[in-house]
């Protein structure tokens, strides 16, 4: 390349439990692309799952793959026909680039595009690297006061925004969120920002629940293995049944809790991914006209997520509990897998993280 660059290194998953930081080629930006010096990349549960299991559903790691998709960086080169960005721009990176031509893309539901190219989803390389090339129209410029870490957090926050939009969260909504991990937390923050009146969160970890309370949950409740008992406790705590439930754990008992615990005529949104088959009280939901809606990533949510962060309506900084340099990436993954962290961030570049 004509641009003088330091050696690129990336965090490459070779197979289960085989994670290596190693040299990796830099790709010249093509038409409509930009080359980025990566700055902050968050570790997602899916990254850890690929590392420890080698697959998520039908997505199987069959060849070495760079991990990471919650990212931000600085543009250091623009490819031909890039009009919206320039060298030096600081951006957050939406990791899923669709075909832009199919019916799903044309109707705005591009997350359902069958040909979407999503970072760190086999066989697509991710972004835990010094340098990464990406589609310019899926990079969003950061305001000067928004940090790279906050920019990287636009990815998980977009999941929460999409879940709340699918649920129809609005002023006065009473919301149950099952699962107080990172996605449950960003769903709670998004629900509050969108006008939810009361939010109750359940989990099997008291520590996670206590953290959820400190960052904004109205009520917290330790989940019981008996879904009906947990649902009853939710009703007793709120004084009524929530009209919206957002399931973020993927656990069968939690899904059952949302079915039993949502008010008749309400909405259940399934965000967490667990076993492909689950035993559910479907008749209970059917006769009470519970709407059941799925969530797959997000679409058209990055501008909203960035606005929520930039305006201060959502503060994601307390959720970042651990930070590592790219050279400590393996240790960062060990921390993420330990369950002791909420969000682990990896610093890939040389920019000062303000």
Predicted confidence at residue 187, as pLDDT, reads 98
Q: Using CA atoms, how far apart are residues 185 and 294, in angstroms rounded to an integer? A: 18
Q: Using CA atoms, how far apart are residues 149 and 138, in angstroms rounded to an integer? A: 18
Q: Each residue of 288-331: pLDDT tens digit?
A: 999 999 999 999 999 999 999 999 999 999 999 999 999 999 99
- pLDDT band of residue 4 (cuts 50, 70, 90) is low
Question: Which residue is listed with tokens 């009703």?
Answer: 235
What percent of the chain has pLDDT above 70?
Answer: 98
Start-to-end CA distance of the chain, whole Å, equals 30
Average pLDDT over residues 167-194: 98
Range(s) of the chain covered by CATH 3.90.180.10 = 9-153+316-347
- Answer yes or no: is pLDDT of 351 > 80: no
CATH code, 160-294: 3.40.50.720
Q: Which two tokens stand for residue 309?
A: 């962060």
Predicted confidence at residue 5, as pLDDT, reads 75
Q: Each residue of 209-257: pLDDT tens digit?
A: 999 999 999 999 999 899 999 999 999 999 999 999 999 999 999 999 9
- Say what the pTM is: 0.96
What superfamily in CATH does domain 9-153+316-347 come from? Answer: Medium-chain alcohol dehydrogenases, catalytic domain (3.90.180.10)
- Answer yes or no: is pLDDT of 143 > 70: yes
Predicted confidence at residue 6, as pLDDT, reads 79
Predicted confidence at residue 40, as pLDDT, reads 98
Q: Each residue of 61-99: pLDDT tens digit?
A: 999 999 999 999 999 999 999 999 999 999 999 999 999
How, if at all, do strands 198-203 and 174-178 pair? parallel
Q: Using CA atoms, how far apart are residues 177 and 201, in angstroms rounded to an integer? A: 5
Average pLDDT over residues 100-128: 98
Half-sphere exposure of 23 (CA within 13 A, CB side): 4
Q: Each residue of 27-68: pLDDT tens digit?
A: 999 999 999 999 999 999 999 999 999 999 889 999 999 999
Q: Using CA atoms, how far apart are residues 245 and 257, in angstroms rounded to an integer? A: 9
Q: Using CA atoms, how far apart are residues 241 and 96, in angstroms rounded to an integer? A: 36
Pair 71, 153: CB distance under 8 Å:
no
User: What are the Cα distances from residue 226, in Å, to 178, 242, 339?
Assistant: 14, 18, 24
Question: In a 10 Å sphere around its CB, with 0-12 CB exposed, 13-18 middle and 19+ buried, how is residue 181 labelled?
Answer: buried
What percent of the chain has pLDDT above 90?
Answer: 94
User: Which carries the bigger pLDDT value, residue 218 or residue 352?
Assistant: 218
* Strand partners for 174: 198
- pLDDT band of residue 1 (cuts 50, 70, 90) is very low
Q: Using CA atoms, how far apart are residues 126 and 147, in angstroms rounded to an integer? A: 21
- Answer yes or no: is pLDDT of 157 > 90: yes
Question: In a 10 Å sphere around its CB, with 0-12 CB exposed, 13-18 middle and 19+ buried, how is residue 275 labelled?
Answer: exposed
User: What are the Cα distances from residue 256, in Å, to 51, 68, 178?
Assistant: 29, 32, 10
Range(s) of the chain covered by CATH 3.40.50.720 = 160-294
The C-alpha angle with vertex 249 and arms to 243 and 252, in degrees rounded to 5, equals: 85
Can you give the three-state secondary structure of the chain, one letter per residue? CCCCCCCCEEEEEEECCEEEEEECCCCCCCCCEEEEEEEEEECCHHHHHHHHHCEECCEECCCCEECCCEEEEEEEEECCCCCCCCCCCEEEECCEECCCCCHHHHCCCHHHCCCCEECCCCCCCCCCECEEEEEHHHEEECCCCCCHHHHHCHHHHHHHHHHHHHHCCCCCCEEEEECCCHHHHHHHHHHHHCCCCEEEEEECCHHHHHHHHHCCCCEEEECCCCHHHHHHHHHHHHCCCCCEEEECCCCHHHHHHHHHHCCCCCEEEECCCCCCCCCCCHHHHHHCCCEEEECCCCCCCHHHHHHHHHCCCCCCHHHEEEEEEHHHHHHHHHHHHHCCCCEEEEECCCCCCC
Q: Which two tokens stand for residue 251?
A: 């656990």
């Amino acid at each position: 390349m004509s641009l003088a660059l330091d050696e690129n290194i990336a965090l490459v998953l070779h197979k289960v439990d085989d994670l290596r930081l190693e040299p990796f080629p830099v790709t010249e930006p093509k038409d409509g692309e930009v080359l980025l010096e990566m700055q902050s990349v968050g570790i997602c549960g899916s990254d850890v799952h690929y590392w420890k299991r080698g697959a998520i559903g039908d997505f199987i790691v069959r060849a070495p793959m760079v991990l990471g998709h919650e990212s931000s960086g600085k543009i250091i080169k623009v490819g031909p026909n890039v009009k919206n960005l320039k060298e030096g721009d600081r951006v957050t990176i939406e990791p899923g680039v669709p075909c832009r031509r199919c019916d799903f893309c044309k109707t705005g539901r591009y997350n359902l595009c069958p040909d979407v190219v999503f970072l760190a989803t086999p066989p697509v390389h991710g972004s835990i690297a010094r340098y990464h090339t990406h589609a310019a129209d899926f990079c969003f410029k950061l305001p000067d006061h928004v940090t790279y870490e906050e920019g990287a957090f636009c990815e998980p926050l977009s999941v929460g925004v999409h879940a709340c939009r699918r649920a129809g969260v609005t002023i006065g909504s009473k919301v149950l969120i099952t699962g107080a991990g990172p996605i449950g937390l960003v769903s709670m923050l998004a629900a509050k920002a969108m006008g939810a009146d009361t939010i109750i969160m359940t989990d099997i970890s008291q520590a996670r629940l206590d953290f959820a309370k400190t960052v904004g949950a109205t009520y917290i409740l330790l989940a019981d293995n008996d879904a009906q008992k947990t649902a009853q406790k939710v009703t007793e705590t709120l004084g009524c049944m929530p009209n919206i439930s957002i399931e973020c754990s993927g656990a069968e008992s939690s899904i059952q809790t949302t079915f039993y615990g949502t008010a008749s005529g309400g909405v259940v949104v399934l965000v967490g991914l667990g076993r492909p088959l689950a035993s559910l009280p479907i008749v209970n939901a059917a006769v009470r006209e519970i709407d059941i809606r799925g969530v797959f990533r997000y679409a058209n949510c990055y501008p909203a997520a960035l606005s929520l962060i930039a305006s201060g309506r959502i503060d994601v900084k307390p959720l970042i509990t651990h930070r590592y340099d790219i050279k400590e990436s393996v240790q960062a993954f060990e921390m993420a897998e330990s369950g002791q962290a909420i969000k682990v961030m990896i610093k890939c570049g040389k920019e000062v993280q303000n």
